[in-house]
A = this chain, B = another copy of it.
Amino acid sequence: MFEKIFKNLSEVKPVVQCITNFVTVNDCANIILACGGSPTMSHHKGEVEETAACCQGLVLNMGTLYDYDSMILAGRKCNELNIPVILDPVGMGGSALRNKTFEKLSENIKFSVIRGNASEIKRIATGIGSTSGVDAIEKDTITEGNVYDIAAMAKGLSKKMDCVIAVSGAIDVVADEKTACLIRNGHPIMSKITGSGCMSTALLGAFCGANKDDILDACAAAVADMGISGQLAQRKTEKFEGGTMTFRTFLIDYVSTMTTEIINREINIEKI
């Protein structure tokens, strides 16, 4: 599964430009390198158009809300050049400024993918709901009981925004308007480190950057890679009697050593 996606990734070695928050920027750069890409975190408005023109994928992360002008400049340039743009609407619903920033970005930029947790994606899909901090709030947790509703919401939002929607949670959902992939990998400890979401978005930038004609499958592969790396990292952490930081180390380790053989052995994916 995903053999073509991983082959393209290793051949293209996509340069992924990230305009992202300073909390998890180092993790994002490292996970892009781990999967075989080349990160550039350039975000000065005096150069982003020039640097974006040399990348294969652009990641815009709303985490700390600075660099809005740079996001617009880089996003438009990538739209012009048909380079995939991935948005992570961190904390969407958490403040008026975040909601407004999302609106302006989506008015000016055509995204290939939007990835968020269930609270963030729900807020975009429905215009209602809020978040507290940057984690999905409890009533928005994805469970076996609501995952098909969330998949339907993702398909609807995909149609409305004309882009792939990735919803992260206990079950991950990746959808375009016709197909939703439910991926049952990962482990709850992933929510105990900062940057799980940001790193997923960074991976999407690399996978989509190398596979721009197959965005849905690229997203499913990236999400599966992250989830499987998470569950393998958790097992190794347990054996090592480690905690959350050992887990983070092992998570990126597994991304750096991932193969399609491991994907095939571990993946739990349902297409609907």
Please report A residues at the B interface, Cβ cutoff 8 Å.
Answer: 15, 17, 21-27, 29-30, 33-34, 38-44, 46-47, 50-51, 54-55, 63-66, 91, 94-98, 132-135, 192-195, 242-246, 248-257
Contacts and interface: CB of A to CB of B under 8 A. Distances in A.
Nearest to A36: B192
A243 B24 CA distance: 19
A15 B132 contact: yes
A78 to B, nearest CB: 15
A118 to B, nearest CB: 16
28 contacts: A23-B29, A23-B41, A24-B26, A26-B27, A26-B194, A29-B195, A30-B193, A30-B244, A34-B243, A34-B245, A38-B134, A39-B134, A41-B63, A42-B64, A42-B91, A42-B94, A44-B97, A46-B95, A47-B94, A54-B94, A242-B249, A242-B250, A243-B250, A243-B252, A243-B256, A245-B248, A245-B249, A245-B250
B96 A40 contact: no
Contact of A64 (B43, B63, B248): B43
A243 B248 contact: no
A169 to B, nearest CB: 16
Interface centre among A43, A194, A195 (most CB of B within 10 A): A194
A215 to B, nearest CB: 22
A64 B23 CA distance: 14
Copies assembled: 3
A95 B23 contact: no
A134 B43 CA distance: 13
A60 to B, nearest CB: 16
A50 B96 CA distance: 8
A16 to B, nearest CB: 8
Interface centre among A46, A193, A195, A245 (most CB of B within 10 A): A245
Contacts of A65: 42, 44, 46-47
A21 B23 CA distance: 10
Contacts of A242: 249-250, 253
Contact of A47 (B25, B33, B41, B95): B95
B29 A26 contact: no
